[in-house]
Structure 1
């Protein structure tokens, strides 16, 4: 270890993992080694050489570091580099290169940035170990290497944190979450880390008490300690943390048994910036202090569920007008729910279930015009269901297992947003079910069992189009009826008798509901059949889920608009399907429904790596009862080929560009998809709308053909052909500029039509010229324009945004720039000839897709090995 600081040898000896190097990078004192001091006599030049060394170990597919190639440009003006003056010389103070798709290893030369304070390389494709030389960076304050192959958070790292990490006096962020670290936090942590702003060590196995010096770290903003094994009380003095906005100690073993031990809540009430207070699932007991009414009006989340807290809710809670989420469920609360909760105008979620609340449900809850979830089940609530709840945009309402009586208000049955669950079971409700129940068109689950309902069963129950579960007793025997799951109380004999009488009625409702659902058939049987056929097993989505996933189909999530609908980015909580693209059909547009059927039928059986993957379809109704149809696809983070061939400048005036190799790869991908559709799928399919905006690129820049709204089937039986023709007939087969010329005079599509469209796409991809541009008038077309330039003037028509990679070593020599350009022009010229042959006027003269793939692959390989 000669030439290395002592801390490397000692740390690596007792903890051989990648985290060691992170800690060393932040903790080791500045050391001067011969290898660094002799790099260059100029300190300024050392920084420049270190940057170039970093660049030499990474590939830059999107030319994000293009400015680093200009020798005349000072390195302080290179992208991602921030400098500061040290002894009147500019020195690198920050290197921030997030989300640039850089691939390679982290250069040890970064240790030469002796004044570096921020190193942010997150969300790239860096791999390998963290260089231990980074331990020389004594001024480093922030290090973010997340979302690479060198991550520290979300790994399987374990063991005890070395004591040295708690002595990093310059540290501002400590993130070690989702690992298997053990041990306790030193009691003086808040003193040794005075500049700490974020403490994220959740989801580990830390134990022992919380540090009593936590209040000394007065710069703390974010405290995330949840899901560990911390014990003891929550320390006092937290009121000094005036910057903290998030305090989360959920899922630990912390205790509070009396007013003294609840004192931390009094302290937190003085934190004027606090927004999120979460102490769920601990061992907190005693009475809830009245000091909660002193919290700042900035408080948004107050979650203390799953503890042993007793007492009542103070009426002054209505003063916390910023609250959006209140969770106090699974405790020992008593008394009445204060009417002042109706003042919480921003409240979205309220869960007071599994307690011992008494009295009536306050009618003031009807004032909560943003309330989405209301859970009051498993209490001792009495009186009628307040009709005012009909004013709330509820998605879920659970009032089960109480002592509520009276009739079911028609206002509740008419809440259009109720989609997830309506549960009023095991109460003493009487009378008949209002006919307004039919307005719950999107309700998924409905439980009315264990009441005293009677009277006529409304036929409108059959209008509940999304209802898949209706709970009631299947038998007239009381013993077979379900009992409350809370275990806090037993049904009275009177209630059991009521269940016995009502059970037959409930069963009738169930049967009628099923009958009604069977009778409800979409206007087009073909739509339902086609939609069901493409659904991933067990993946069902409702209108409400898609509404939430896209934040109300907000314009911020809009990623594209087509002829028959709009496409939104969405976040679905379903297994591995998280980020998705949701295509919402504009059913007011003529042909949109036919397009929906065509796309479903085309994609339900095809499987190919270069076709967009469809997850499911939704045929439903929106909250106003209007028909709603949507398709859910795999999300393509790099957008469409259209936006790469015709890029728009960003706020910094920069545009992204595709290299020649990327363009050739994409063209081969599209050709492969069409060849599969035409000749190798379950049934020959003609896409009918091949163009750059319908070619989508995934995170690895692999192309996927999408938008099958105009697709047609070949070789169908006469009956099927007739049905499909009526479903997919179109006023105009394709998009102007890409549609085959024979489509204008004949009503028959063919694979040759797709070949023509592909030829136009190829020419556009390599020239950057749209086929409908102003240049193409008076008989001049894009194919003719390209043909006139071949072979002498090809360099004049190549897309100016097409950038060429630096020459690779060939036969021991580095190729010069002129050779590279000449070779590129040759490759483009050969590729353009393929495009012209595909876009011939006569369908019989056009190429076959398999020949296109073969020739383009040969051109691509020739370019790689030039």
Structure 2
């Protein structure tokens, strides 16, 4: 540890300096340039900082410079071009910037050049002299290079075995690689290559005579057109082939089955059509096959069972039909995803080696076989959105490694088996929308790791537990079970009737006789009651504070005047359509509050006040803005005064974080920046709130004005949906209605309001989903839907849709792009970029023009949580 001593330069006869894999810090001393005989300098995997000293160019005998995996900054010194004996130059995984000095491309002795995972930019020279005739290893991956791939790389550096150009911004056509006779590893993934045209993949045919090729990745570009059959002439030695994330069309060439040594084949997120070639089963060494997110159809060929080594099979989001092949258990599968297809039948793949199984959103039927209990190491099981029936097999309790169990939207019946109590590692359990009955097992309350439990819309009865996950109303969902009682108050369930209470029934019947005696008195009371109701109609129509929060009294105007320092402009934190919001402190108990004062002179303000009171008295959820009380009275000038008092959200609105005002130079304070994980969490918070309003309230509530300014953030950056001034109840079974609590103003805000509202349609939960989709796209692009760039038929939805899947980072908020670019590791970058693509697809699916085509908020929540977990797995 410590710094490299400067006086090492006194060792004038030193030939080798090998300091790698230590804890050295400080800079590379410039004095090292006086060690004229030095031939080898190794210092990788330390904590070296500062820039590379230009004095290194004085080491005329230097053959190797290896300073990878440090924290070096600045540019590559031009003086490196003076080292005519240099054969290895590697600065992998530092923080270098600037451009590559042109002189480095004329070092004829150079065999290895590696500067991947830095922030180097610029373009590669289009022409150079004799180039790098001895170059065998060239890696500039994960930088910021632009322009085209110059033809001198394959034409001059003919000894190349490793070529890494991935994760940059290269564009245009790809040159021919036919001169790279020795190349083994060719990686140009995650660039902007190709144009979506028919000739984009022509360069692949130039690789057909290269017998040494083991690895090829062109994934994550803009390559279009058909995949030529010439690919079948690749070397049979190839082991890994990545084609995913492009615009490739047509059928999968059956010639791919020639690659008998292939271990990994990924072709996901393209537009492949037709059936899977039966010959694909000949790839008996295949370990990983991904064909998800295409337009493939037909049946899943049984020939896949010949892939004895297959571990991961991903075929989701296609149009496959027919049964699941019955002999997949011949494979060694640990990960099987067949979700979002049209599969049918009753065959269930009880592959004993599975860790993750996703069969959701198909047409599978029949009973869940008892053999499922033989899948010992199953971690995730998702069979939602099918037609499975019968009882939940007790053998499911033998899958004691289960973390995620999703069985919603099926026809299961009977009770939850006692054997499920063995699933002590479960974190997510969703049995909603089935025909399950019986009591809710108390053992669910003892699951220490259970974070999400959904038992909604079944026929459960009895007492709801109050411990464990049942203490959290935002993590537990039991709506649609009309025979359950008890639980914590947030569930708003009826109190349970004890046996002792039932025994008093006889006494109550006796008392009924006495009530007859007072019949005449009762008639008189009814008349009085009718008279009082008539008087109430003559009074100003306004909700009482007691109906909202029993524990708070209706605060006086004077109390709020003192709390907000006379409604001072210094305390003003927001201005809305129907009033202003002030921060304040209640002197009685020191509570920080936000006071929404209604401007009753504004048309519709009173109706908005009533609507918000009516909605807020019925709801309570951790992701909804908590109302404390109301004020309904007269101000000191004799004018009517109405205000709502909320819990103060110290971090303001989401709008302030997405579009922050510039901080003046003379004002200290942190910039408002939301990272990727924070944005994901907030989108999940908002989705939870909508799912509660739409699916778990006694009457469905439609918010009608979802936008960034109506999402508030607390001290932990948890999102809370507020402003129910335009909210509407849906009192009927249909998702559409014209029954409004408030008719004040437009049903939403321009840019966020669903298009059908502008054509006179009634409000619906799908309208909220549309607003959510636009809000989601805004959160990750950083672009407001009302910005001037969207004119005529252009809008944020189309802007994002047209950019996918190739220009994900182009449309992403620059703050998030910097986060992606600064991520260490190609796998991590790839995961983040794929997650962004999935997020945009969700936003697009939510903001489709036709309401019935929009994604349900329940599915949105599930997918976002999956994305969040994938990002957590990368270490974010």
Measured against the shorter chain, the TM-score band is 0.3 to 0.5
TM norm structure 1: 0.44
